[in-house]
Amino acid sequence: MGSITLKQVTKSFGTVDVIHPIDLEIDDGEFVVFVGPSGCGKSTLLRLIAGLEDVTSGHIEINGKDATSIPPAKRGLAMVFQSYALYPHMTVRKNIAFPLKMAGLDQAEIDRKVDEAARILNLSDYIDRRPGQLSGGQRQRVAIGRAIVREPDAFLFDEPLSNLDAALRGNMRLEISELHQTLATTMIYVTHDQVEAMTMADKIVVLRDGIIEQVGAPIELYRNPRNLFVAEFIGSPKMNIIKGSVADNMGAPTIGVRPEHIDVSTSEGSWKGTVGVSEHLGSDTFLHMEVDGVGMVNVRADGEIDLHHGDTAFLTPQETKIHRFDASGMAV
């Protein structure tokens, strides 16, 4: 059980409106990612659900019951913080046991659950250490362990991977996804990293300035962005946005083409351009090309392509993959 419903939820700090009226349905067992640039209100929205901030107006329902005025301790949710927020004076065992102790379980039951969580998260060897003696990844696991032992209705993650290095981030991303498969519990995950959003989410909520721009499955947002903001935010490298006469000729004031939807040829194509920087990654090559009458265009080409700085090449956007936007930036 872990469905969460937001009804016309708003949040203001003084005279500043951080969250404009938001309606959102999160189903039981779903992995939902809140994504958006910094300052878009995604963390605030998570803290409102957690109960760490009070809503200014509107209602939050958990499992169909109004939870708006229930304190965080009683909402049945668990949270993993960006800073891990472990208790520095407690060992790993006591950190993980803390929520169970607060729930008033007996010691034998607590020990059994803590050992189980430590085993799942490969923490058994560190169980008697303090947080100060652990690496970043281990601390992150303890924070997750502390969240899972209580078997909450939903997990809330507030940018949990942003303090880890790139390699570890990739690993933990997988571990969290696996955890979701195993536990099948609702998870709400806040990030500014659209790669995390795309790879982990069942449903992505794109936020900007306290407003939901679009909600949908990752592939749906990728294929059918509702507006220019979502189009540019989702997908890496970013979608090419083209305006002017080229766009007019294709039937819209603004068009967008993803770098992976442009074919490259050395002999013929719709656009002629010059290669600026070319990044050879092995699997792919990213070409930054200056195209006559269009401007800068990024292209994701085959890894083995033999194009270098100053070379001339022809580009052809794939007709079915072109996104068209009206003057106000909405998709048409």
Partner 1 sequence: MARAISTQRRVWLTALAWTIGFLIFFPILWTFLTSFKTEGEAIASPPSFLFFDWNLSAYEAVNQRSDYPKHFFNSVVISLGSTVLGLLIAVPAAWAMAFVPGKRTKDVLMWMLSTKMLPPVGVLIPIYLLFRDLGLLDTRIGLVIVLMLINLPIIIWMLYTYFKEIPGEILEAARMDGALLWSEIFYVLTPMAVPGIASTMLLNIILAWNEAFWTLTLTAAKAAPLTAFIASFSSPEGLFYAKLSAASTMAIAPILILGWFSQKQLVRGLTFGAVK
For the segment 50-69, give every residue that binds partner 1 (CB under 8 A): 50-52
Q: Does 150 bind partner 1 (CB under 8 A)?
A: yes
Q: Does 289 bind partner 1 (CB under 8 A)?
A: no
As a three-state string, the secondary structure of the chain is: CCCEEEEEEEEEECCEEEEEEEEEEECCCCEEEEECCCCCCHHHHHHHHHCCCCCCEEEEEECCEECCCCCHHHCCEEEECCCCCCCCCCCHHHHHHHHHHHCCCCHHHHHHHHHHHHHHCCCHHHCCCCHHHCCHHHHHHHHHHHHHCCCCCEEEEECCCCCCCHHHHHHHHHHHHHHHHHHCCEEEEEECCHHHHHHHCCEEEEEECCEEEEEECHHHHHHCCCEHHHHHHCCCCCCEEEECHHHHHCCCCEEEECHHHEEEECCCCCEEEEEEEEEECCCEEEEEEEECCCEEEEEEEECCCCCCCCCEEEEEECHHHCEEECCCCEEC
Exactly one of 31, 34, 98, 222 binds partner 1 (CB under 8 A); that residue is 98
Nearer to partner 1, 52 or 211 (CB): 52
Exactly one of 163, 199, 236, 270 binds partner 1 (CB under 8 A); that residue is 163
Q: Does 81 bind partner 1 (CB under 8 A)?
A: yes
Give min distance, CB of 147 to partner 1, in A: 8
Nearer to partner 1, 152 or 273 (CB): 152
Q: Does 145 bind partner 1 (CB under 8 A)?
A: no
Q: Which stretch binds partner 1 (CB under 8 A): 99-107, 192-200, 271-279, 321-329?
A: 99-107
Nearer to partner 1, 89 or 309 (CB): 89
Nearer to partner 1, 2 or 51 (CB): 51
Give min distance, CB of 231 to partner 1, in A: 34
Nearer to partner 1, 82 or 236 (CB): 82
Give min distance, CB of 197 to partner 1, in A: 23
Give min distance, CB of 152 to partner 1, in A: 9
Nearer to partner 1, 92 or 315 (CB): 92
x/- site string to partner 1, residues 124 to 143, per CB under 8 A? ------xxxxx---------
Using CA atoms, how far apart are residues 211 and 213, in angstroms rounded to an integer?
6
For the segment 34-53, give every residue that binds partner 1 (CB under 8 A): 50-52
Using CA atoms, how far apart are residues 122 and 119, in angstroms rounded to an integer?
5
Q: Does 146 bind partner 1 (CB under 8 A)?
A: yes
Q: What are phi and psi of 48, to 5 degrees?
A: -65, -40
Site residues for partner 1 per CB under 8 A: 50-52, 71-74, 77-79, 81-90, 98-99, 102-103, 130-134, 146, 150, 156, 163
